[in-house]
Structure 1
């Protein structure tokens, strides 16, 4: 019985679209422009405990498309997943929440962004593949550097 209580658990409980926004602030005039738009894409990750052994992981994409200085369209989509994660050491938990879970959520986010662009009357914006492990390692290196910097200040 004690083996069952210490067995690591990782299960997807639910994937869902948490937030979605589309803005076309300069329509319809800007739709007549023939200039190639510039596309800027930003990603953000968040993970938080929501109950004992339950975590919500969010991946947010903000897609800003401009013609010159005017915004053609702006999409912000937040895709989320609820994961049950139990009996995992803290250092492994951080990796699961920062790498594994976002990798599972991200394909849903890519589909939503592409679909919204198409439904808004634009060619789809295809979010590129993301190396969440590299992002996680870079974030950890920043945290470690900041901690080392503050330790030398004292």
Structure 2
């Protein structure tokens, strides 16, 4: 609840509710099967990229999307690759404005991550490989990196050429 001007009511506890969560996009490729399914001589090199985006879809409601892209390569050949966009709709109320952006970009993806991790593990297993269990993600560190990158880009644009 707000006091009419969008500010939280005094004493009202902050609330974060998950209204929905869903797979927006999922792609899994196994381009060199069945050859890629044979026992490999060495551990594959696995590269994972994780990004977070958010849209304000209604007052106090945000769609947060966790983008996870990955690729496993061995001897210069792609064993498998995947691209997952897993999203959730969150209702956030009674949170001060200065805390809203970090909450949306850190806590919301942290809640989505276990589900995205399971989808990826299952997809990789169904592709004929051992399940890929992603390590936990430091969403605070990811948030800080993104904020530093945005600040550096803004500073670079502000400089006269």
Q: Whole-Å Cα distance in 1 between the matches of residues 159 and 48 of structure 2?
A: 36
| 1:10 matches 2:16 | yes
SS in 2 for 1:34: coil
| 1:146 matches 2:159 | no
Q: Whole-Å Cα distance in 2 between the matches of residues 2 and 116 of structure 1?
A: 43
Residue 122 of structure 2 corresponds to which residue in structure 1? 115
Gaps of 5+ in 2: none
1:28 corresponds, among 31, 34, 39, to 34
TM-score, normalized by length of structure 1?
0.86
Residue 55 of structure 1 corresponds to which residue in structure 2? 62
Cα distance, 1:149 vs structure 2: 4.3
The count of corresponding residues between Structure 1 and Structure 2 is: 154
CA distance change for structure 1 residues 94 and 2 in 2, over 3 Å: closer, same or farther? closer
Q: Which has the higher helix share?
A: 1
Cα distance, 1:2 vs structure 2: 6.4
Cα distance, 1:20 vs structure 2: 1.1
Cα distance, 1:42 vs structure 2: 0.9
| 1:124 matches 2:134 | no
Gaps of 5+ in 1: none
TM-score, normalized by length of structure 2?
0.83
Residue 103 of structure 2 corresponds to which residue in structure 1? 96
Alignment deviations for residues 39-92 of structure 1 (CA, whole Å, 9 cap, x no partner): 111111111112222111111111101122221111111211100123433321
Residue 86 of structure 1 corresponds to which residue in structure 2? 93
